[in-house]
Amino acid sequence: MPVLSVKIGRMTLKNPVMPASGTFGYGEEYSKLIDLNKLGAIVTKCVRLKPTLGNPPPRLAETPCGLIASVGLQSIGVEAFIKEKMPFLRRFNTRIIANIGGETVEEYVEIAERLNGVKGLDGLEVNVSCPNIKRGGIAFGVDPETVYKVVSQVRKAAKNLTLIVKLTPNVTNIVEIAEACEQAGAEALTLINSPLGMAVDIEKRKPKLSTVLGGLCGPAIKPIGLRCVWQVAQRVRIPIIGVGGIFTATDALEYIIAGATAVQVGTANFVKPRVMLEIIEGIEKYLEEHEINNINKLIGSLQV
Amino acid sequence: MPVLSVKIGRMTLKNPVMPASGTFGYGEEYSKLIDLNKLGAIVTKCVRLKPTLGNPPPRLAETPCGLIASVGLQSIGVEAFIKEKMPFLRRFNTRIIANIGGETVEEYVEIAERLNGVKGLDGLEVNVSCPNIKRGGIAFGVDPETVYKVVSQVRKAAKNLTLIVKLTPNVTNIVEIAEACEQAGAEALTLINSPLGMAVDIEKRKPKLSTVLGGLCGPAIKPIGLRCVWQVAQRVRIPIIGVGGIFTATDALEYIIAGATAVQVGTANFVKPRVMLEIIEGIEKYLEEHEINNINKLIGSLQV
Amino acid sequence: MFLFESEILSNVRVADDLYLLTFRAPEIALRAQPGQFVHVRCNKGEHPFLRRPFSIYLVERETGMVKVLYKTVGIGTALLAEKRKGEQLDVLGPLGKGFNSKAVQKSALLIGEGAGLASLMFLAEDLRKRGVEVSAILGGQRETVHIGKRYFKALGVKVETVEGDTKKEEYQREMAELFREALGKGVDRAFGCGSNHLLALTAHVARMLKIPYEVSIYQNMACGVGACLCCVRKIREEGKLTYKLVCKDGPVFNAEEVVWEV
Amino acid sequence: MFLFESEILSNVRVADDLYLLTFRAPEIALRAQPGQFVHVRCNKGEHPFLRRPFSIYLVERETGMVKVLYKTVGIGTALLAEKRKGEQLDVLGPLGKGFNSKAVQKSALLIGEGAGLASLMFLAEDLRKRGVEVSAILGGQRETVHIGKRYFKALGVKVETVEGDTKKEEYQREMAELFREALGKGVDRAFGCGSNHLLALTAHVARMLKIPYEVSIYQNMACGVGACLCCVRKIREEGKLTYKLVCKDGPVFNAEEVVWEV
Ligand SMILES: Cc1cc2nc3c(=O)[nH]c(=O)nc-3n(C[C@H](O)[C@H](O)[C@H](O)COP(=O)(O)OP(=O)(O)OC[C@H]3O[C@@H](n4cnc5c(N)ncnc54)[C@H](O)[C@@H]3O)c2cc1C
Ligand SMILES: Cc1cc2nc3c(=O)[nH]c(=O)nc-3n(C[C@H](O)[C@H](O)[C@H](O)COP(=O)(O)OP(=O)(O)OC[C@H]3O[C@@H](n4cnc5c(N)ncnc54)[C@H](O)[C@@H]3O)c2cc1C
Ligand SMILES: Cc1cc2nc3c(=O)[nH]c(=O)nc-3n(C[C@H](O)[C@H](O)[C@H](O)COP(=O)(O)O)c2cc1C
Ligand SMILES: Cc1cc2nc3c(=O)[nH]c(=O)nc-3n(C[C@H](O)[C@H](O)[C@H](O)COP(=O)(O)O)c2cc1C
Ligand code: FES
Ligand code: FES
């Protein structure tokens, strides 16, 4: 049996497959359909400082081979997360990663401080695609200096947790942003959050989403995610978690070969709730068939 | 019968539908399958100063609801274009737009000078997604200052032609680039060229394209194209030509309602060679059914 | 909540663009409650991408059969209509919170429109089994309304119908008027499923007449299980505005609580 | 070049994962030349996105029938295999430049592998009609090779076969050896279709023996008509390296001109 275990920062994962933030709640709903113990990690819905309602409906529209969504970082808030969600999550024999978001640097820091040391929590995934209200709603993640500031401060605030930063692809040069994160002390990067998209209802002549714009997810974006992972993998030393349009083991293997140490599965969970288990099995089968005894030998093995 | 005619710079088009550059050759091949006189315009494959071979194979890989391609601006060169292709093209009762590309500002200017005044040619579409060799291969179109320079100089070099600039979506802020084009004298904008993507062959552990990266086209990118058109339409006064994933009249109408004055159809031609005629008919039918007597009333009519 | 490949037993057109799909899913048949739904994969590939939600139309607990009544409106339902007997169907269910049929003692009024009929049949059967007096108002296209009438009558339900284009004001007014009259005769509780327009209109009537009214509402869904937060609708809860999940907190809500945005 | 919805007359499995598709397309049947291909839409929706190219296997000019022999290898061919008699097929063709069969006076050698057989049958028929002596070497999976042998024999073609895994070196060597022997007996011209590997190997042999050798080569295609420049292969023309379009300048090239990159 090939070794599937990988390291992300200080965390050893039993395998490289985990859900993408926001597509798996806090694991509760899907725990009725799949055994969470089998996953490499669980990544939670975005945790914010205070409970927040999120965007008005409609929040969802289907698009070719994907969807656009604008949930708007609806959150139960960090206190409720710790009290109501962590007790459930820490029962499982897997790594728990909290995805966090805020509207100011201070908010990120406060959440990180509050989560640091929470029992059973292993990592933080800092979502820098959130709108920065001090800069007129432009995402934190589009500017290397702002990203550096957020990441280095969260780094100080949450010393006990593996620090992962999740980047937006809506930038001219994602490598520059990735390098800023590495310098600021990130232990891993998650690539990619969703490209900005839009859809129009031609009968009503209105946008299909209440917020006009939304994040494009699903198989449609796989080529973009792969491109970002490959570009960044050439330039940083920290591990990368690949995400974007992973639907099958083949998709996951494309990411791994392009340079991802682990992968996240997002919207595919909606379509095939057991897809992560299929992907784990598929990766294992591929390794066996190709006589690769350890997945780490496959990571970034792309011959260019 | 509703009025379908629109204005792009100094050109009046009989209807708003035309092929996207690079997907329709110089019209010759498809002239056997559809009547070119029925199109609003014809946009040619990228014309460069000298004949260029383009990228090695493989140049194409299919992806979910789309494809990635890296033809690499293979071109017959501007002289051959004028001698061998224009005589055929000017026979048709439609507007002819030459898409141009270069590796230096000077190259753009030289092509523009050469094309200015060529009989039967109505417009230039400046493709600024080409790699700028003086800046290490970074595309001209990602930096407002470089774009300004290219566009203002081409503006001077080709006074007799309607000047359109085709932008890349691979930027943090497409509005900023669009504004630079407007200030530099562009009479219209084409949005979008293809987002950068990648695909991996997991059996060979090699990229599916010889150049590793390629442009993602097809229905998959429609939400991204629509988003860019809408964002830019809020901020510039010059007309926008929408392109990206248009497969049906509904897709074209989404673009028009979001703010596009005309649309280009790219990879859909490969799948349905008569699709542009279907789209023209579909737009006409929509206008009739909605009792809109002039397409110009529909442009940018999105209620936000 | 179960996920499995079930066998299609039949899939036939019953009226206009309305189809009746029957599949074997004993776990769902055993546990389903009126007003709950199943989340179905209409195709194999990657486009269209998402599952499609359909109310559970009827179940046969003994044989494990589940029925869904659906209208072909787009690509997903068109692909579903192509499926044949013997093929597999990827189903997730039963999902959501159904109608509170236990709250009815003596009499109930149902109002349904087009495919909205689908979520009321199971409820009607349930109520009739418990001896409740049920009357119904059905609206929509001719054939759809007729077939609904036939099915409902077989259960001993008193039916009134309005044939017409559900988007026309005239039709809407007639439906609301019938609803008002029927409620006026006094019923314990009313249940509705149909367009937003109809539900908003009738919710207003029920509130005026102070009769409890439960409605099954629609929203675009992704996961269907409460994990993605995509399917919210605006709800007034104890005077406070909030968003609730149609897939998990609904699809049935008290009409009074729903904030209608038409 | 024609584009139309043609009627499927039959679509049946003939061996292993090999299917024979017959459709009515008089314009294509009338004009098609051996080695040309058709570009087929395997599905209706937006995924998989592109058409799929298939060699014209045989035509019946009188009845307007066109046949395609295809192997199911992925999503497009799997969808094609699901199509039934009576359904419509969206076809574009005939496309490309075929074999130069007129150049043969007396004798020809064909070498085909797996589905590569598909582009040689029409050629064999054409050559036989003109009284040319044809021999063939067929390689690949057992069933595929056998059916090819049967078809070829019916045309009066002398056939040798190699059963085996086309990726194995042993198989490749045997094919090349048979090819060398057959060429050694002296033929006017050889024609090949198969994996890059096989074609490169046999091209080498033909060059050594100075026998003209035409090969039908593969490349991923988008438009199929020469408009997109996606389908290039490296070609040596008058000593100069250039790219040529497989869909328009090919798919048949002189083996000598092809730059083999294996
Ligand atoms: C809880 C729930 C229960 C449902 N029960 C039934 C049922 O029993 N029978 C039935 O026929 N339908 C039911 N529906 C609606 C059904 O899910 C949609 O008709 C179906 O998803 C359309 O899929 P499609 O691919 O054919 O259409 P699409 O191609 O996705 O869309 C076609 C058109 O329908 C509109 N549309 C799509 N989904 C919805 C929706 N949920 N509400 C309103 N408009 C929509 C789109 O905006 C578009 O204009 C239910 C929906 C929900 C949320
Ligand atoms: C000019 C020409 C003529 C052809 N004639 C025939 C024919 O007569 N009979 C026949 O069975 N096939 C023929 N082919 C190949 C056929 O087009 C492919 O097998 C088909 O496109 C695969 O589609 P798919 O969706 O099933 O596979 P996909 O899902 O697209 O791919 C499945 C696998 O096949 C590989 N593949 C796809 N296309 C090709 C290709 N063109 N060459 C090599 N590998 C490929 C992919 O890389 C992948 O590994 C021809 C190809 C060309 C270019
Ligand atoms: C409904 C929904 C909610 C999401 N919420 C979050 C979130 O809270 N934080 C975050 O970092 N990403 C969020 N994402 C982005 C996903 O984690 C992921 O990056 C994206 O869906 C691309 O992956 P996919 O193509 O596999 O779906 C969300 C995506 C969806 C569809
Ligand atoms: C094969 C191919 C070649 C292309 N060549 C050019 C080109 O020369 N110049 C250019 O500006 N865009 C070129 N494009 C981009 C298209 O014009 C268009 O912007 C893109 O395909 C998106 O539209 P679509 O989704 O409708 O295909 C090319 C696209 C393809 C697929
Ligand atoms: S559809 Fe995902 S929460 Fe309701
Ligand atoms: S496939 Fe388009 S040029 Fe050959």
Question: Hey, where are the domains in chain D?
Answer: 2-95, 101-257
The larger pLDDT score, comparing residue B241 to residue C155, is at B241
CA dist., res. B296 & res. C1, Å (int):
51
Task: Give A2→chain C minimum CA distance, Å.
Answer: 30
Strand A60-63: give its sheet, edge to edge: A60-63, A66-69, A213-217, A196-198
- Burial call D210-243: b when 16+ CB within 10 Å, e when fewer: ebbbbbbbbbbbbbbbbbbbbbbbbbeeeeeeeb
Domain span at residue B119 reads 6-297
Regarding the beta carbon of C135 and ligand 1, being less than 6 Å apart is answered: no
Place of tokens 């998650």: A190
Q: Which residue from A142, A197, A253 is facing B224, i.e. has the nearest CB?
A: A197
Q: How far apart are CA A154 and CA A108, in angstroms?
A: 7
D71 pLDDT more than 80 = yes
Residue C72 Cα: closest atom of ligand 1:
26
- The architecture in CATH of the region C101-257 reads 3-Layer(aba) Sandwich (3.40)
Whether the CB of D42 sits within 6 Å of ligand 6: no
Neighbouring chains to B with at least 3 Cβ pairs closer than 8 Å: A, C, D
Burial class (CB in 10 A: 0-12, 13-18, 19+), B243: buried
Total domains in the fold of chain B: 1
Closest Cα in chain B to A63: B223
The DSSP code sequence of D17-41 is TEEEEEEE-HHHHHH--TT-EEEEE
Give the tokens for residue D111: 């070498």
Q: Do C68 and C98 contact (CB within 8 A), yes or no? A: no
B94: in domain: yes
Residue D52 C-alpha to ligand 2 middle, in angstroms?
A: 7
B99 vs C51: CA distance, rounded Å = 42
* Mutate-to-test residue for ligand 3 from A45, A267, A269, A272, highest number of ligand atoms within 8 A of CB: A267
Pick the catalytic residue: A130, A181, A217, A228?
A130
**Which chains would you list as touching D if contact means 3+ CB atom pairs under 8 Å?**
A, B, C
- pLDDT value of residue C116: 87
CATH of the domain at A224: 3.20.20.70
Q: Which residues have C-beta atoms less than 6 Å from ligand 2?
A: B 62; D 37, 48, 52-55, 69-71, 73-77, 115, 118-119, 218-221, 251
Comparing CA positions, the residue from D212, D215, D261, D221 lying closest to residue D245 is D221
Nearest residue of chain A to residue B231 (CA atoms)? A213
pLDDT tens readout for residues C67-80: 999 999 999 999 99
Structure tokens, A296: 């780490």
D87-105 mean pLDDT = 94
Cα separation of C212 and C181, whole Å? 15
Q: Which residues of chain A neighbour C224 with C-beta distances below 8 Å?
A: 270
Residue to test with chain A: of D44, D47, D167, most A Cβ within 10 A: D47
User: So what's the pLDDT on residue C56?
Assistant: 96
Asked if pLDDT for residue C165 goes beyond 90, the answer is: no
Share of chain C above pLDDT 70, in %: 100
CB distance D29 to ligand 6 below 6 Å: no
Whether A64 contacts B220, CB under 8 Å: yes
Percentage, residues of chain D above pLDDT 90:
79
Q: Please tell me the distance from the alpha carbon of residue B216 to that of residue B69, in angstroms, as a whole number.
A: 7
Q: What is the pLDDT along chain B (304 residues), one digit of tens a residue?
A: 899 999 999 999 999 999 999 999 999 999 999 999 999 999 999 999 999 999 999 999 999 999 999 998 889 999 999 999 999 999 999 999 999 999 999 999 999 999 999 999 999 999 998 777 777 677 889 999 999 999 999 999 999 999 999 999 999 999 999 999 999 999 999 999 999 999 999 999 999 999 999 999 999 999 999 999 999 999 999 999 999 999 999 999 999 999 999 999 999 999 999 999 999 999 999 999 999 999 999 999 999 9
Q: How many of the other CB atoms lie within 10 Å of CB of A87?
A: 11
Sign (positive or negative) of CA dihedral B243, A222, A48, A188: negative
Q: How far is CA A119 from CA A86, A114, B296, in A?
A: 8, 12, 61
**The two structure tokens encoding residue A52:** 């927040």
Q: Whole-structure pTM over 0.90, yes or no?
A: yes
Coil, strand or helix at A105: helix
pLDDT band at D212 (very low <50, low <70, confident <90, very high): very high
Q: Which distant-in-sequence residues (6+ apart) come within 8 Å of D152 by Cβ?
A: D121, D124, D136, D138, D159
- Give, as one character, the DSSP assignment of residue D101: G
Smallest CA–CA distance, residue B118 to chain D, in Å, is 23
What pLDDT does residue C164 have?
87
- Strand D133-140 and strand D58-60: pairing? unpaired
> How far away, in angstroms, is B67 Cα from ligand 6 center?
13
Question: Considering only alpha carbons, which residue of chain A is nearest residue C242?
Answer: A53
Burial code (b: 16+ CB inside 10 Å, e: under 16) for A262-277 equals bbbbbbbbbbbbebbb
Which residues in A lie closer than 8 A to residue B170 (C-beta atoms)?
A: 172
Q: What is the pLDDT of residues B68-83, one digit of tens each?
A: 999 988 899 999 999 9
Burial of C99 (0-12, 13-18, 19+ CB in 10 A): buried
Any ligand 6 atom below 6 A from CB of D228: yes
Question: Cβ–Cβ of A54/C227 closer than 8 Å?
Answer: no
- Kindly list the distances between the CA atom of residue B40 and the CA atoms of B142, B213, B264, in Å, as whole numbers in the listed order: 29, 32, 10
The per-residue pLDDT for D238 is 86
For residue B134, what pLDDT is reported? 73
Residue of C nearest to A51 (CA): C242
Q: Is A168 in the pocket of ligand 3 (CB under 6 A)?
A: no
- Cβ–Cβ of A257/B172 closer than 8 Å? no
Mutation target to probe the D interface, by most D beta carbons within 10 A, among A62, A63, A65, A222 is A65
* CA B221 – CA B64 distance, rounded (Å): 10
Contacting residues of C for B65, CB less than 8 Å apart:
46-47
Going by pLDDT thresholds of 50, 70 and 90, the confidence category of residue D262 is low
pLDDT at D47: 81
For residues D220 and C114, give the distance between their C-alpha atoms in angstroms, rounded to a whole number. Answer: 47
- Between the CA of C258 and the centroid of ligand 5 the distance, in Å, is 17
Would you list the DSSP string of D38-80?
EEEE--SSSSS-S-EEEE--EEETTTTEEEEEEE--SHHHHHH
Q: Which of B201, B202, B218 is nearest to B210 (CA)?
A: B201
What gap in Å lies between CA D139 and CA D159, rounded to an integer? 11
Collect all residues of chain A within an 8 Å Cβ-Cβ radius of residue D46.
64-65
- Is B200's CB within 8 Å of A302's CB? yes
Strands B123-127 and B131-132: unpaired
For tokens 């590939």, the residue is C45
Ligand 4 atom closest to B75 (CA): 8
Q: Determine the atom of ligand 4 nearest the C-alpha atom of B46.
A: 8
Cα–Cα distance, A1 to C130 (Å, whole number)? 58
pLDDT the model gives residue D15: 85
Chain A residues touching C229 at Cβ < 8 A: 22, 25, 45, 54, 59, 71, 74
A181 in catalytic set: no
pLDDT over 70 (residue C262): no
Model confidence at D6: pLDDT above 80: yes
For D25-40, write each residue's pLDDT tens digit: 999 999 999 999 999 9
Q: Which residues pair with B62 in a beta bridge?
A: B67
Gap from CA of A94 to ligand 5 centroid (Å): 25
Ligand 1, pocket-test mutation among C38, C218, C244, most atoms within 8 A of CB? C218
CATH topology of domain C2-95: Elongation Factor Tu (Ef-tu); domain 3 (2.40.30)
Q: What's the C52 CA to ligand 1 centre distance in angstroms?
A: 7
Complete DSSP assignment for chain B = --B--EEETTEEESSSEEEPTTSSTTSHHHHTTS-GGGSSEEEPSPB-SS-B--PPSP-EEEETTEEEE-----B--HHHIIIIIHHHHTTSSSEEEEEE--SSHHHHHHHHHHHTT-TT--EEEEETTSEEGGGTTEEGGGSHHHHHHHHHHHHHH-TTSEEEEEE-S-SS-HHHHHHHHHHTT-SEEEE--PPEEE-EETTTTEESSTTSEEEEESGGGHHHHHHHHHHHHTT--S-EEEESS--SHHHHHHHHHHT-SEEEE-THHHH-TTHHHHHHHHHHHHHHHTT-SBGGGTTT----
Would residue A117 count as lying in a domain? yes
Q: Is C93 helix (H, G, I), strand (E, B) or coil?
A: strand
D30 lines ligand 6 (CB under 6 A): no
* Secondary structure class of C12 (helix, strand, coil): strand
Tell me the pLDDT of chain A (304 aa) as tens digits.
Answer: 899 999 999 999 999 999 999 999 999 999 999 999 999 999 999 999 999 999 999 999 999 999 999 998 889 999 999 999 999 999 999 999 999 999 999 999 999 999 999 999 999 999 998 777 777 677 889 999 999 999 999 999 999 999 999 999 999 999 999 999 999 999 999 999 999 999 999 999 999 999 999 999 999 999 999 999 999 999 999 999 999 999 999 999 999 999 999 999 999 999 999 999 999 999 999 999 999 999 999 999 999 9
Q: Give the distance (Å) from ligand 3 centre to CA of residue D104.
A: 63
Q: Is D245 helix (H, G, I), strand (E, B) or coil?
A: strand
CA atoms within 13 A on the CB side of A275: 24
d(CA B99, CA B73): 11
> Which residues make Cβ contacts (< 8 Å) with residue D50, sequence separation at least 6?
B62, B67, B270, B271, D76, D221, D222
User: Which residues approach ligand 5 with their CB closer than 6 A?
Assistant: C 221-224, 226-231, 245, 247-248
For the segment D231-255, what is each residue's pLDDT rounded down to a tens digit?
Answer: 999 999 888 999 999 999 999 999 9
Whole-angstrom distance, CA of residue A82 vs CA of residue C24: 42
**Alpha-carbon distance values, D171 to A38, C19, D113, D162, D175 (Å):** 43, 54, 11, 7, 6
